[in-house]
Amino acid sequence: MILRWLRRSSVGAALAAFAAPGAYAEMPPDVLVKTVTLEVVDIVAKDQDIRAGDRRKVIDLVEAKVLPHFNFTSMTALAMGQNWSKASPEQKRRLTEEFKTLLVRTYASALAAYRDQKFDFRPLRMRATDTDVTVQVRVIQSGAQPVSIDYGMEKTAHGWKVYDVTVGGVSLVVNYRTEFNNQVREAGVEGLIRNLQAKNHSLASDYAAAEKK
């Protein structure tokens, strides 16, 4: 009951923030996560096309609402680890672009699976001087342990930005590091970029094929 009430009141808060788009930059990280999450899942829950499996629409939604709050350069650099310094500025730009495309696709797939689960937004204890925090959210589900989603966030000139997402204890950045490292060792930075491009192309054609059905 309380959860439901909280959720409804938060949707109100989300709508208020919606009216003032510039407000995101000033939001504390936990408020930002809560606002954006509720805004996005509210759209997913109501949109008939998305519920019917319209991938393109989910990806558009993620690009419009979620993507601006991520720092993909940080994410890519962290996933590259020591290999980041081996890449030229041009390679860094292309790597970030391809990694972003891949992450948006997988994020959209995860979001498309959303089915009215409730959220528990953990209050964040932080000092005013903090520039690097973890915002914790838990997805409540019946008969199973809640799934934790932790957002690693850093303070930038344009507000707080996400640089890592940890789902159920699994950090995306850490998980991609071994894969990236293996690929760079085998085929160099250029090889990794080629493989990312190939993966994105094949995913895009999978969606196109699925939509034609």
Residues that bind another protein in the complex, under the rule CB under 8 A:
74, 77-78, 80-85, 102, 105-106, 109-110, 113, 115, 134, 140, 142-146, 148, 164, 168-171, 173-175, 177-179, 182-183, 185, 195, 199, 203
**What angle is formed at CA 111 by the lines to CA 109 and CA 115, rounded to 5 degrees?**
120
CB 148 within 8 A of CB 138: yes
Q: Could you tell me the smallest distance in angstroms from the CB atom of residue 16 to another protein?
A: 29
Phi then psi dihedrals of residue 51, to 5 deg: -65, -30
Residue among 28 and 146 whose Cβ is closer to another protein: 146
| 173 and 76 Cβ atoms separated by less than 8 Å | no
The DSSP letter of residue 142 is T
What torsion, rounded to 10 degrees, do the Cα atoms 158, 11, 75, 139 define?
160
Residue number, 97 or 136, with CB nearest to another protein: 136
Minimum CB separation from another protein for residue 179, in Å?
5
- 196 to 12, 109, 113, 116, 185: CA distances (angstroms): 40, 18, 24, 33, 15
Closer by beta carbon to another protein, 4 or else 21: 4
Give the nearest distance from C-beta 98 to another protein in angstroms.
Answer: 12
13 vs 154, beta carbon nearer another protein: 154
Least distance (Å) between residue 183 CB and another protein: 7
CB-CB contact of 179 with 190 (8 Å): no
DSSP 8-state class, residue 168: T
Smallest distance, another protein to C-beta of residue 64, A:
21
Query: Of 85 and 129, which has the nearer Cβ to another protein?
Result: 85
